[in-house]
Structure 1
Amino acid sequence: MITSPAWKGKRYAVLGLARSGRATVRALLASGAEVLAWDSDAGKREAFAGQVELADPVEADLSGFAGVIVSPGVPLNTHPIKPHADSYGVPVIGDIELFAQARADLPPHKVVGITGTNGKSTTTALVHHILKTAGVPTTMGGNIGLPILEQEPLPEGGVYVLELSSYQIDLTYSLDCDVAVLLNITPDHLDRYDGDFEKYAASKARLFEMQTGEKCAVCRAQDWWHGQKVGEKAGGKYLEVFDDVFHQWQDVPSAIGIQEQSRWHALQGPHNLENAEAAIATGFLLDLSAQQIRQGLETYPGLPHRMERVAEICGVAYVNDSKGTNTAASAPALAAFDNIHWILGGLAKEPGLGECEAQLGHVKAAYTIGEAGEMFAQALEGAQVHLDGVERCLTLDKAIKSAAANAESGDTVLLSPACASFDQFRDFEERGDRFRSLVQELSERPAA
């Protein structure tokens, strides 16, 4: 695990003992810190009985504490822990901030921080894979993989690649990334920002504001930042804006071309081209060669639930894009295929079809599920693009059964719900796993 002498002898409170909270407690204890910890789940509290003081920080006297570490899932705009800690002058932070504090005592290394509304996980995993393929010591963490404090420190020359949600950035104050990447900003999670899109975007921008010296920033100048002086938002640091990264690098005028995307098997579609552009820019900023980057792009295996091709049955492709939890995330998946039988619906984050409406020409038929099913069905029936049919299926199993019955060789059955999953599933992973198992059942049925 990652520890730090900076925490020795200090007192910390940890609120939430899920995966990252447990790793945080262990790292603090191993560093010689005193810990007060709490979780509403008695079983999670019991795991630390005798090792820490078990008490709710919201009700505790926090005088003399060095920090309160909370899960990114704790809404700072509504949870009582923030005003309570503020009354004692104690910062509310996350495990990423602890990692930032520990960096001074780690072997010399670099950190890549990647944020954005959509594409973070793919880009983070892709950068990590490119580095690993090139023989660079690397690990990934943050909003992906193991908690960063649970991982072993990298040797000298290593690169930590962190996926960072706006929530994690909100809990971080000293993460000075060597390369900071902003992929995009579209409306999402606005309940955490009092419905204010600019507050949400400003949270993302803080990743650049924490950079010092001649650190590198990579940003697609669009959405909230469009038309503004992006360099000023980055504190005046060096900024590489990528719109066509293939033509920006003087030493690689055509070494990595857009025509090569057909060889990046897990990176199809226009949105994955943008993710690849970000990864290519990051690779060059980390002094990798074009050939090293190319090798990583061509061997990247992809991530579960992100345009994951799970099967082909009778010439029909079945694609799991359960991570498409808003319309901006699902629209690129629609753009990547033709003759789509689209399964969508769940717990809507926004009204209407949003960015998906521009991609309906790729859709052959639609099957709506979940709480937002009726809203989507009406929107699709009222759209200007003709579909072969819109079926109100309510559940995922019925939608897959109907789509499989209607699809023909050359078609694609695509789960890209454009919604959160919480109305019917624990999370998007469970929804995607269910899709995969239902498709597997289809493949095992004897031919008619």
Structure 2
Amino acid sequence: MITSPAWKDKKYAVLGLARSGRATAEALLAAGADVLVWDDRAEARAAFAGRCTVADPLEADLAGYAGMVVSPGVPLNTHPIKPHADSSGVPVIGDIELFAQARAALPRHKVVGITGTNGKSTTTALVHHMLKEAGVPATMGGNIGLPILEQEPLPEGGVYVLELSSYQIDLTHSLACDVAVLLNITPDHLDRYDGDFAKYAASKSRLLAMQTRGQNAIARFTDARVLGQFAEGSIASILEDVLQNRGIAPGEQAEWPSLQGPHNRENAAAAIEACDILGIPTAQIRAALKSYPGLPHRMERVAKISGVAYVNDSKGTNTAASAPALAAFENIHWIVGGLGKEPGLGECEAELGRVKAAYTIGRAGPDFAALLEGRVPVEQCETLDRAVASAAAKAAAGDTVLLSPACASFDQYADFEKRGDHFRALVERLA
């Protein structure tokens, strides 16, 4: 695991003992810190009984603590832990901030931080893939893969590739990334920012503001123009110019099977620029674009049955995330719906010409049916199994059955992964 001698004999409280919280508590204990832990689940608390203090930090005197470590899932705008910690002058941080503090004791390395509303996971995994294919020691962490503190330190010359949500950035104060990538900013998770898009955008762009002179920032021109949060002396790359500047023709995207669609061209451009900055030769970058396998639940090609492609894009949990998937295919049988995050079709509206028929599911199903009525054939299916069966019955060779719900999953599934797994299982039964 990753630890730091700077934590020894200091006091930390950890609220939430799921994956990252558990890994954080273990790393702090291994470093010799004095740790207080808490979780609402008795079984999570039991794992630390007798090893450290187990108590609710809301009922503890936090004076003298070096940090109040919370899970990214804790809403800082409404949870009482923030004012409680503030009253004692204790910083509220996350595991990424602890990683930033631990960097000084790690073998010489670099960090790539990637944020944005959509495309983070694909871009993070693609950068990691490019580095590994080029023989560079690398690992993924943050919002993807294993918790970063649970991982073993990389050898000298390694690269940590971190996918960072706005929640994680809110809990981070000193992470100066050698390469920071801001993919895009569209409205999402606004309940965490009191409905204020400007606050959400400012949170994302803090990844750039934390950099130091000489470090590299990559952002879209349209976002960079309005954010103004580049660190003084940082070196900016504009995402829209990358392919031309690196001598990669747009037509080469046809050779990247897991990176289709305009949004993946942008994701690829970000990864290309990041790896170019890190010194990866263009020939190796090109080869990695062709061999990149893609991510589960993100435009994942599940099967081709009787000439019909079945694509799992369950990670499309808002309209801005689903629009790129619609843009990547033709003759689409679109399975849409779930727990809606926003009114209307948003960016999906511009892609309706590619939709042959729609099949609505979940709580937002009737709303989507009303929005689509008269524009494309619509069937209100309510559940995913009915939607898959109906779409399979109506699709012809050359068509694509696409699960890209443009909604959260929590009305019918524990998470988008469970929804995508169910889709995959339903398709496998068709074969």
Tell me the amino acid that sits aligned with residue 185 of structure 2: I
Instruction: Judge conservation of contact 1:117–1:186 (CA < 8 Å) in 2.
Output: yes
Give the superposed CA RMSD. 1.0
Aligned to 2:71: 71
Aligned to 2:236: 239
Distance 1:205 1:376, change over 3 A: same
Please report how far the alpha carbon of residue 226 of structure 1 lies from its aligned counterpart in structure 2 after TM superposition. Answer: 6.0
Distance 1:304 1:229 in 2: 32
Distance 1:234 1:5 in 2: 29
SS in 1 for 2:240: coil
Aligned to 2:285: 293
Distance 1:226 1:239, change over 3 A: closer
1:403 to 381, 384, 391: 391
Aligned to 2:207: 207
Matches within 5 A, 1:10-409: 10-222=10-222, 225=223, 227-228=225-226, 230=228, 233-249=230-246, 254=247, 256-381=248-373, 386-387=375-376, 389-409=377-397
Instruction: Judge conservation of contact 2:213–2:231 (CA < 8 Å) in 1.
Output: no
Tell me the amino acid that sits aligned with residue 228 of structure 1: V
Instruction: Judge conservation of contact 1:343–1:417 (CA < 8 Å) in 2.
Output: yes
Give the ranges of 4+ consecutive aligned residues of structure 1 lying more than 6 Å apart after TM superposition: none
Aligned length: 431
Distance 1:414 1:93 in 2: 39
Aligned to 1:419: 407
Instruction: Judge conservation of contact 1:208–1:235 (CA < 8 Å) in 2.
Output: no
SS in 2 for 1:343: strand
Instruction: Judge conservation of contact 1:261–1:273 (CA < 8 Å) in 2.
Output: yes
Instruction: Judge conservation of contact 1:99–1:149 (CA < 8 Å) in 2.
Output: yes
Distance 1:35 1:229, change over 3 A: closer
Distance 2:225 2:100 in 1: 32
Distance 2:227 2:185 in 1: 16
Deviation digits for residues 398-435 of structure 1, max 9, x if unmatched?
00010011001110000000000000000000000000
Please report how far the alpha carbon of residue 227 of structure 1 lies from its aligned counterpart in structure 2 after TM superposition. Answer: 4.2
Instruction: Judge conservation of contact 2:314–2:416 (CA < 8 Å) in 1.
Output: yes
Distance 2:398 2:385 in 1: 22
Tell me the amino acid that sits aligned with residue 294 of structure 2: G
Distance 2:317 2:58 in 1: 32
Instruction: Judge conservation of contact 1:338–1:362 (CA < 8 Å) in 2.
Output: yes
SS in 1 for 2:129: helix
Please report how far the alpha carbon of residue 304 of structure 1 lies from its aligned counterpart in structure 2 after TM superposition. Answer: 0.1
Instruction: Judge conservation of contact 1:114–1:120 (CA < 8 Å) in 2.
Output: yes
Greater shift, 50-59 or 414-423, is seen at 50-59
Please report how far the alpha carbon of residue 213 of structure 1 lies from its aligned counterpart in structure 2 after TM superposition. Answer: 1.8
Deviation digits for residues 6-44 of structure 1, max 9, x if unmatched?
000001000000000110011000000011000000011
Instruction: Judge conservation of contact 1:179–1:282 (CA < 8 Å) in 2.
Output: yes
Distance 2:329 2:112 in 1: 31
SS in 2 for 1:244: helix
Distance 1:99 1:236 in 2: 24
1:431 to 404, 412, 419: 419
Instruction: Judge conservation of contact 1:242–1:277 (CA < 8 Å) in 2.
Output: yes
Distance 1:220 1:248 in 2: 15
Instruction: Judge conservation of contact 1:205–1:234 (CA < 8 Å) in 2.
Output: no
Distance 2:18 2:231 in 1: 33
Distance 2:221 2:172 in 1: 23
SS in 1 for 2:405: coil
SS in 1 for 2:203: helix
Distance 2:189 2:425 in 1: 30
Please report how far the alpha carbon of residue 242 of structure 1 lies from its aligned counterpart in structure 2 after TM superposition. Answer: 1.6
Instruction: Judge conservation of contact 1:68–1:85 (CA < 8 Å) in 2.
Output: yes
Deviation digits for residues 31-79 of structure 1, max 9, x if unmatched?
0001100000001111111111110111111111100100000000000
Unmatched 5+ residue regions in structure 1?
A: 444-448
Greater shift, 288-297 or 182-191, is seen at 288-297
Please report how far the alpha carbon of residue 228 of structure 1 lies from its aligned counterpart in structure 2 after TM superposition. Answer: 3.2
Distance 2:294 2:205 in 1: 27
Distance 2:227 2:400 in 1: 42
Tell me the amino acid that sits aligned with residue 79 of structure 1: H
Deviation digits for residues 173-224 of structure 1, max 9, x if unmatched?
00000000000000000000000000000001110111112100000122xx
Tell me the amino acid that sits aligned with residue 437 of structure 1: A
Distance 2:140 2:345 in 1: 33
Tell me the amino acid that sits aligned with residue 246 of structure 1: L
Distance 1:182 1:229 in 2: 11
Instruction: Judge conservation of contact 2:23–2:150 (CA < 8 Å) in 1.
Output: yes
SS in 2 for 1:82: helix
Identity within the alignment, %? 73
Distance 1:167 1:377 in 2: 33
Distance 1:46 1:122 in 2: 36
Distance 1:142 1:371 in 2: 31
